[in-house]
Each structure stands twice: as C-alpha cells, then as structure tokens.
C-alpha cells in the first residue's frame, strides 16, 4: 500500500498514530511503528526536554522502524520551554515532527533544515494553506469528528478532506472519525494520502492507560462525546462522563474558565487515565468511539484495517465495472 505518505515516512502502511497528551509514549509509538504504521511520541507528555530525550531513546530500543514526535504549542500563562523541546527533537534525528497549534515559522524552518519532515495538524483549510506556505511537508487535516480541539468551524471530514485535496499540493493525512478500514478507504478515495488515528489507538493493548478507560471507549456510542469550552472559543471534544456533563452545564450558566479549572485540570485527566476512573477527569475522545468494539494489539488493528480497506476499495471498483 504505497502513497506519498508511506514514501515520505518510510513506512509500510499510511497509518499515523496521533500525538496524544499522556498517551503518546514510547510504548505505544513503538507498537504502531512495529505494526507497519508511523508511531508518534508526544513531547509535552514528558516533564522536561531531558525526559523526552530518554523517551525517544526508549522508543529506539523497542523499534527499529521510523517514528516521530509531536510538539503542540497552545496559548498558556506559563508556557513550557518549547525551544528546548524542539532542540531535543532535532538532535534526536527522528523521522518527522508533528506540529500543532501556533507554531512559529522559524520552528518549522529549524526542523526542516535538520532533515526532519514536518507534518502540521490543521482544523481548517485556511490554516492548512498557511502551513504549506511556510514549508510543511504534509498536512494532517482534522475533521469536526476528532478528539481534542476540532476548532470552531464545525466542518466534518467528508467536506474538509476533499476541500484540502483540491487546494493543497503536499500530502494530506485525514484525521478525525477514522477507526477502521472503511474509514481508511473513504479517506483515500476523498484525496488523502494516509490516515491519522488517536482515539482508536487508545483502545489497543499497548496504549499506556488503564483497561477500565479502554472498556469505556468500547462501551461508548457515537453519541457519547461532549463539546466543552464552546463558550470560550476553545472547543474540545471529550468523552461523555460526569465531569464533561458538569462542565457543559456550568458553561450554559455562564461559567468562566476559572470556575471550571478544577474540573478540567490536565493532571486530573492524567490521573483518571492511570487509575481507570472514567468519571475522574476530562478524557479526550472522538466520535469514532462508536466504531470501537474491541481492544486489539496495534499490529492486529493495523493489519485488519489494511485488509478491510483493500476489500472495500476492490468492492467499490468491481461495482462500477
């Protein structure tokens, strides 16, 4: 299965693991890469640039396949030392850096000068065009179905993917709402060169989260996500649970961020993932939870997806012959 993304990243299949906070560790990234996809370590999951260096080394000890590192830059009162994290990523000579958020053009230039491929995550076509202009080697385009921050334009993948394919010249990675071979076949048909999955890889054996959380994802339907921070113009899609319901109710009453800070604190979410409490904190999840019904290994999931994707493409082709 060869596309511009497999050629760019040196992988067998055009399946990229999303860079997920608290989840994108060496353990998961190596499992995805060993399965033929492209694993990604999340830089800011590590407390320091030095810890990130060690995590990258750990991934190399677990896999000899290409992998990358995600660096997401969001507005913050006390921002992490982004420059030092970037320096660590560049020095590590991983295959690619996945950037997201408000990334200065000079960061992209530094990574490219060091020989890293730059994949920039976008939730709108206008941001994708800007990232391409500033040198991104590929665009990961996130539809409204995705977990995390889908933006405020509310455009789903069925429109966003072909819109990006019509305007961009660099390879496109479809993200949001993809969890099986049918979705992969659809994305490729719409013009994508590969797919990105976050929530689906959370429900795998190697994902570094408690099994109770994985089973909550299995049990959820496509209706079991909530959009929080809508009133604050920082929309996030998360799993429907006691915390997200409380946040939505508070926002409906005019709550400000300080009123809900204790509910949405990142550390609280991290502890919920580790302890296995589905109602312990905010848990990022996309609408693709409605397509998750088991917890396979990463390799099993990838092989099954590729097989189903090929089957669906053959079926559609045969139907029109």
Task: Decide: 194 and 171 in contact? Cβ < 8 Å.
Answer: yes
CA trace torsion 210, 213, 219, 222 (10° rounding): -140
Q: Where are the alpha helices (DSSP H) in the chain?
A: 4-9, 26-34, 49-62, 82-92, 105-113, 125-133, 157-167, 181-190, 199-202, 211-219, 242-252, 257-264, 266-275, 298-319
Rounded Cα distance, 195 and 174, in Å? 5
- The pTM (predicted TM-score) of the whole model is 0.96
- pLDDT at residue number 214: 98
| pLDDT at site 74 | 86
What confidence score (pLDDT) does residue 320 get? Answer: 86
Instruction: Tell me the domains of the chain and their CATH numbers.
Output: 4-206 (3.20.20.70), 211-287 (no CATH)
Instruction: Quote the longest CA-to-CA distance of the chain.
Output: 60
Place of tokens 């496109």: 172
Q: DSSP letters along 67-113, please?
A: EEEEEEE---SS---HHHHHHHHHHHT-SEEEEEES--HHHHHHHHH
Q: Which two tokens stand for residue 296?
A: 């396979």
Compute mean pLDDT per 10 residues along the chain, 321 residues long, and list them. 97 97 98 98 98 98 98 87 98 97 94 97 96 97 96 96 98 98 98 98 98 98 97 96 98 96 95 97 98 98 98 92 79
Residue 227 β-bridge partners: 237
How many CB atoms are located within 10 Å of the residue 207 CB? 25
Given CA atoms 317, 185, 180, 34 in this order, what sign does their dihedral have?
Answer: positive
d(CA 249, CA 302): 38
pLDDT for 321 equals 79
Per-residue pLDDT reduced to its tens digit, 135-186: 999 999 999 999 999 999 999 999 999 999 999 999 999 999 999 999 999 9
Tokens 């009162």: give the residue: 77
Spatial separation of the C-alpha atoms in residues 12 and 176, rounded to whole Å: 21
């Amino acid at each position: 299965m060869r596309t511009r993304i497999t050629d760019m990243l040196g992988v067998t299949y055009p399946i990229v693991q999303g860079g997920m906070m608290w989840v994108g560790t060496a353990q998961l990234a190596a499992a995805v890469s060993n399965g033929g996809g492209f694993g990604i370590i999340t830089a800011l999951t590590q407390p320091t640039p030095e810890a990130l260096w060690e995590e990258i080394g750990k991934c190399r000890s677990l896999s000899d396949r290409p992998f990358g590192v995600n660096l997401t830059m969001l507005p913050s009162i006390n921002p992490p030392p982004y420059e030092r994290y970037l320096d660590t990523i560049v020095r590590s000579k991983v295959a690619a850096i996945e950037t997201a958020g408000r990334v200065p053009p000079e960061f992209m230039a530094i990574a490219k000068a060091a020989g890293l491929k730059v994949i920039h995550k976008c939730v709108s076509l206008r941001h994708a065009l800007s990232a391409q202009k500033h040198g991104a080697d590929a665009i990961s385009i996130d539809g409204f179905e995705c977990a995390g921050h889908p933006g405020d334009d509310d455009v789903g993948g069925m429109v966003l993917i072909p819109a990006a394919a019509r305007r961009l010249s660099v390879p496109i990675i479809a993200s949001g709402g993809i969890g099986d071979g049918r979705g992969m076949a659809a994305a490729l048909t719409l013009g994508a060169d590969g797919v990105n999955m976050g929530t689906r890889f959370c429900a795998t054996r190697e994902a570094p989260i408690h099994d109770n959380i994985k089973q909550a994802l299995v049990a959820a339907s496509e209706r079991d996500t909530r959009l929080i921070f809508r009133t604050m113009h920082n929309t996030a899609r998360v799993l429907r649970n006691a915390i997200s319901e409380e946040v939505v109710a508070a926002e409906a009453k005019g709550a400000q961020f300080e009123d809900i800070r204790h509910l949405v604190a990142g550390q609280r979410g991290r502890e919920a993932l580790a302890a296995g409490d589905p109602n312990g904190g905010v848990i990022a999840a996309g609408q693709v939870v409605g397509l998750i019904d088991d917890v396979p290994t990463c390799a099993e999931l990838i092989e099954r997806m590729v097989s189903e994707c090929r089957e669906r493409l053959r079926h559609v082709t045969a139907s029109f012959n």
